[in-house]
Structure 1
């Protein structure tokens, strides 16, 4: 699990098939209730890193800057984030207050 579980105990809210195209759904052999997830999947030690800037207006499309061909010095998302588009980043990453 790539995130802490505190406050996110209802795994299937995000991970049921079709819940969100950008979040990995449960495989067919995982027909379990929410409470069973933690039996095998351990929570990550920390939350995803915060976004150090506002995400409104000019910053609403993350991949405009956070891409291999983006401005120098700006972090590029890891390979596990391939296919994520738009402002989907703020589902997991908290943005700085405006």
Structure 2
């Protein structure tokens, strides 16, 4: 299992916002997956992420990964779960 905790830039639609990520990758039945949570965001930015066709998180070293939000998004919740797509960017 690989982990990353720290700042990311989230790009989705018209939004490019700095957030905090707590991510991990796991191998299950021979398949790698990654995900975790994002925090430290403005509600309006996260709504844009929710409605955008593509959401990408960029780590400080320039690596990027596509992701989707999991669960419900409610104003002021503080953190939102994400599920990555493709190779983990960390």
Instruction: With the length of structure 2 as denominator, give the TM-score of the two structures.
Output: 0.26
Larger radius of gyration: 1
Higher strand share goes to which structure?
A: 2
Higher helix share goes to which structure?
A: 1
